[in-house]
Amino acid sequence: MLTLGIPGDAVTAIIIGALFIHGLNPGPLLMIEKPDMFWFTVGNLVLANIFMLIFGLTGIKIFTRIVECPKAILFP
């Protein structure tokens, strides 16, 4: 929905607001008027997903130990 300039949730509304503050009009014309900004954003999202995959796969042993802890320890 960001490409249409319609906020679907609070995070998208904040991103659209930040784009307006910086003088960019979100929507389909953003890809035509500022392709460097658009592809920079897409690249950052891809990079963030790659890092989340790496950290998730390396930390899976720790995450399973946290889940296996007794509820009496986790709840407080």
**pLDDT tens profile 2-60:** 677 788 889 888 988 988 898 888 888 888 888 998 899 899 999 999 999 999 999 99
pLDDT for res 2: 67
Q: Which residues of 6-32 are buried (b: 16+ CB within 10 A; e: fewer)?
A: ebeeeeeeeebeebeeeebebbeebee
Q: Give CA angle at 68 (67, 70), nearest 5°.
A: 100
Residues 28 and 39 in one domain: no
> Using an 8 Å Cβ cutoff, are 24 and 34 in contact?
yes
Residues 41 and 28 in one domain: no
Residues 57 and 26 in one domain: no
pLDDT for res 21: 94
pLDDT for res 53: 96
Residues 76 and 41 in one domain: yes
Please give the DSSP secondary-structure letter assigned to residue 26: -
pLDDT (average), residues 58-66: 88
